Structure 1
């Protein structure tokens, strides 16, 4: 990569150069949304100077307001800003595809060979690590969000609503948004939390898309382009949905997965962790697609692969179709792979529509502060939801035979070690999972 003087913008990257970068990003984007956004900032703002700091943060602020994986949406936005619709589609797709292919392979290894001692030992170790990771996520989001009594009350109410009252997740999110909207009018100082991605005045030199660079033609808002994107997006959702209904019927697992994950895609305010309780509630308790143990294992696989954590939903689809042999007993892998792709399609399609339809509007206007109180309240509710999820994991991992059975002391020990590594040593999630897997193998072959 050639360097140019800081006062001169580098040459506009070709579409091929951009594609090569987005593919690289999709293969190395470990570390969750914070790590993925940091990689994009380092590469695109600091080193390549394809976009300025201010424009990068302006795009990020919009993506943070949307349901869905904010890092994937940010990649889509930046790709679209550079090279139009094809740039956005390619950037968003390449951010996901490496993770999808890898997760299909890992899901197959898990479900086909999970009973082998070495595989069983690995998952025995990483399950308590995942429990610690969820607890750490709840703490991280909570410490950033719960700045006053109002937000603590919303988090507590969300926990009680899910744990004790078993209310539907969408109702909890909607109620939090209403509380935030009302609170923003009467207690604005409690509901205008600062972004977790602090704005910076840093400058890394002239950029291809600089602070004062006019928006390109494709990024200028018009009602015709807005309506066209919405119409095409609706068709891209309706045609496969109708096809599944016509071929399999409404009650078939493929059709129900498409319908359910279309709704789940609109519930992911606050990141992938926020939607996991919703998926857990439906996939484990309502549809009975997976067991609680399989759901925890899926989260472990999602944490250990690049790309957005929401890819764990593809694991749900794969395991469901594989176990149910939806294409017959001779085609179980094909059934699982088709389900994983199907789930990914319905999960990520709304993200592309939000960016391609809303991007021009964001380019021509400033951040809408009126949405901030609702988003802040939703994030507070997510903390309570995550605490419920963490408690669910603790019960099913540390007491695998039920609360009336004996505590699994070795599993509890791994969870405590993983928590110490995350909270005190600040170790990377991948390292924590790897170390826990080694402890699981140790138990499997030496102590079991």
Structure 2
């Protein structure tokens, strides 16, 4: 009797075997094509980006299973930094190792970076044109509405009980009224999370969730920069980059290492230091930069490129972008296996339980002065128009679920139409 399997058994065995991987060069070309396209079309925020990545990597191409993808999303949500960018890096890592990870991240970021720099140049070149002032008069209230809607969504996720509500309120009060340093605020949140939500067993010491030596160094170096409000750099920024390279690098490394909770959590970090302390941007410029980040593709943290362009031109934009995304690459490339275990660690989970409500309170506190700048205008009529634009945008977001980029464009259009009344 023959021991060879029947044709039907052979087919079943072939279906059970994993498909052989194409050569590395083919996989890298596929990764580049997919993530360049996603980089150009990545509108709608991190949730939309991750949904697009799931469609490409799991549904259409079978690069990973749905379980692998979900595990990657959970890992990226645990980490500080832009989750959708980290997920792209993770997909590239699973598909083609370190080379795939670097290529995926680069191709996802590069198109959005070029577009952001182009809009930054246009904005600062034509900033004083009355029509453009009208456009950004209409855009600023929309940005406030986007932030408030984000706070609402984050609050529904974060405030699960009274203790988390108190953490959010405490963060709001400490940041707005007491002026507590925001990194100290998140360090306190991590400690509170360990006490309230960690496992009930002997104290193991606070896990090193953030690179605190680096953050302290960044605080020291950035603080040495003179606080005068900066004028606009030249296009390339050659005259400024020597002075501001290390302050920008260390500052944006710090931000990229500490923004838990989504891209808009960048707001309190930047509003506190870049706007209020360092005065690299005015409040109006900062709001306009966030708005540009909303109607361009890619993650909102590319607002760093806008800031970098103001400080030191294209070289400054490149410096800020590399620095803010470098922690994301490092976390995935150097620590992915360890972080997958940390994600299941009860102490790490407990510490992070307090991070999200803290981010909620910090964003709410940072929004108040920004809202004053956007809504309280020179005349009662202008203030009323700004309030109406912001209210309409909030209704569009909360009730009609309109995309943020569309609302930003609509707000700019209304601002352009009524610009003669307010400028």
Q: Is the TM value for this pair above 0.5? A: yes
Matched, 1:292 2:283: yes
How far 1:391 sits from its partner (Å)? 1.8
Residue number among 51, 56, 73 corresponding to 2:86 in the alignment:
73
How far 1:366 sits from its partner (Å)? 6.8
How far 1:282 sits from its partner (Å)? 0.6
Residue number among 409, 415, 418 corresponding to 1:440 in the alignment:
415
Residue number among 109, 121, 145 corresponding to 2:158 in the alignment:
145
- TM-score, length-scaled by structure 1: 0.78
Aligned to 1:46: 59
Aligned to 2:320: 343
Aligned to 2:142: 129
Instruction: Between 11-20 and 148-157, report the one with greater CA deviation.
Output: 11-20
Aligned to 2:392: 417
Aligned partner of residue 166 in structure 1, secondary structure: coil
Change over 3 Å in CA distance of 1:366–1:167 after alignment to 2: closer
Aligned to 1:390: 367
Aligned to 2:358: 381
- TM-score, length-scaled by structure 2: 0.82
In 2, Cα distance between equivalents of 1:78 and 1:286: 38
Aligned to 2:103: 90
Aligned to 2:192: 179
How far 1:392 sits from its partner (Å)? 2.1
Change over 3 Å in CA distance of 1:250–1:105 after alignment to 2: closer
In 1, Cα distance between equivalents of 2:271 and 2:186: 16
Matched, 1:277 2:268: yes
Matched, 1:318 2:304: no
Cα deviation, 1:174-203, whole Å, max 9, x if unaligned, reads: 111111111113799xxxxxxxxxxxxxxx
Gaps of 5+ in 2: 1-13, 202-210, 226-237
Aligned to 2:232: none
How far 1:436 sits from its partner (Å)? 1.0
Change over 3 Å in CA distance of 1:287–1:251 after alignment to 2: farther
Gaps of 5+ in 1: 189-229, 322-335
Cα deviation, 1:244-272, whole Å, max 9, x if unaligned, reads: x9x99999333211221121111211122
How far 1:60 sits from its partner (Å)? 1.4
Change over 3 Å in CA distance of 1:249–1:101 after alignment to 2: closer
Aligned to 1:426: 401
Aligned to 1:22: 35
Change over 3 Å in CA distance of 1:249–1:425 after alignment to 2: closer
Aligned partner of residue 252 in structure 1, secondary structure: helix
Instruction: Between 138-147 and 12-21, report the one with greater CA deviation.
Output: 12-21
In 2, Cα distance between equivalents of 1:125 and 1:280: 20
Aligned to 1:100: 113
How far 1:90 sits from its partner (Å)? 0.5
How far 1:307 sits from its partner (Å)? 1.0
Change over 3 Å in CA distance of 1:118–1:149 after alignment to 2: same
Change over 3 Å in CA distance of 1:373–1:161 after alignment to 2: same
Change over 3 Å in CA distance of 1:167–1:251 after alignment to 2: farther
Cα deviation, 1:106-163, whole Å, max 9, x if unaligned, reads: 0000001112233222211111100100000000111111110010000000000111
RMSD: 2.9
In 2, Cα distance between equivalents of 1:6 and 1:43: 22
How far 1:47 sits from its partner (Å)? 2.1
Aligned to 1:325: none
1:152-171 equivalences under 5 Å are 152-171=165-184
Change over 3 Å in CA distance of 1:26–1:153 after alignment to 2: same
Change over 3 Å in CA distance of 1:158–1:316 after alignment to 2: same
Instruction: State the number of aligned residues.
Output: 376
Aligned partner of residue 50 in structure 1, secondary structure: coil
Matched, 1:307 2:320: no
Paired residues of 2:89 and 2:101 also in contact (CA < 8 A): yes
Paired residues of 1:10 and 1:50 also in contact (CA < 8 A): no
Aligned to 2:11: none
In 2, Cα distance between equivalents of 1:251 and 1:105: 23
Paired residues of 2:255 and 2:324 also in contact (CA < 8 A): yes
Aligned to 1:37: 50
